[in-house]
Amino acid sequence: MDKELILEIPSNHTEAAIVPFSFFINETTLNWNELYFGVETGFLTLQHVVEKAEMEASTQQDVPESVLEASFLLKDEEDEIEKALQNLIKQGVIVKQCLEDAEFLQKCKRKFLYIIMLWLYQQNCESISVSNATLYRLIWNFKGGFSDATYEFEHAVSTMDVDAAFLEVWAAYLKEEKELKRI
């Protein structure tokens, strides 16, 4: 795999790809560095920082001071949340250099692409239509984080209409990614 592609950070250009934090953590684990990746790419919001901090403060015992401070913020205090995020970096809860690590980025890309595609699949099945163009742009944005299943799904997105057969291909992609247990 081309290291330049892996190191290329995706960015979210569509509101459709912002997954609720509760959905994300119900489907997979999310450490602080992965959350930072999500915020930096726009696939998670600053409000997710507060939600993660609240979750940790209520479920763990030895929580770093910076996490406790973030847990008390209101979700609409974006300037304060940004300061809290910088404090999490300063205290070493988040390692900013993780965004320069190819292995970390590849893992994050696969995880985020899977969760976003799962979220959109479930929304699509509830008749909130997602266009092929939106899906294709999202997949392309994650280049360098692909599995064989992703390449097959990308081909289906570019050649099939959104119908029952397409949804079957989409479901097969999700199943294969989950079975790889890399998520």
pLDDT tens readout for residues 121-136 = 787 666 555 665 666 6
Rounded to the nearest integer, the mean pLDDT of the chain is: 80
Q: Which of 99, 120, 154 is the last residue of a domain?
A: 99
Same domain for 66 and 11, yes or no, is yes
Same domain for 67 and 51, yes or no, is yes
pLDDT value at 13 more than 80: no
Same domain for 80 and 10, yes or no, is yes
Q: Give the model's pLDDT for residue 150.
A: 62
Same domain for 95 and 24, yes or no, is yes
pLDDT value at 89 more than 60: yes
Out of 20-24, 55-59, 147-151, 179-183, the most confident range is 55-59
Q: 130 with 122: CB under 8 angstroms? A: no
Question: What distance, in Å, lies between the first and last C-alpha atoms of the chain?
Answer: 19
Q: Which of 49, 72, 99 is the last residue of a domain?
A: 99
Q: Which of 64, 99, 134 is the last residue of a domain?
A: 99
- The confidence band for 62, taking pLDDT boundaries of 50, 70 and 90, is very high
Q: 138 with 17: CB under 8 angstroms? A: yes
Tokens of 149: 């299943």
The domain total for the chain is: 2
Range of the domain at 26: 3-99
- The confidence band for 96, taking pLDDT boundaries of 50, 70 and 90, is very high
How big is the CA angle at 167 (ends 166 and 170), to the nearest 5 degrees? 90
pLDDT value at 17 more than 60: no
Same domain for 137 and 69, yes or no, is no
Same domain for 45 and 78, yes or no, is yes
Please give the Cα distance from 105 to 34 (Å, whole number).
9
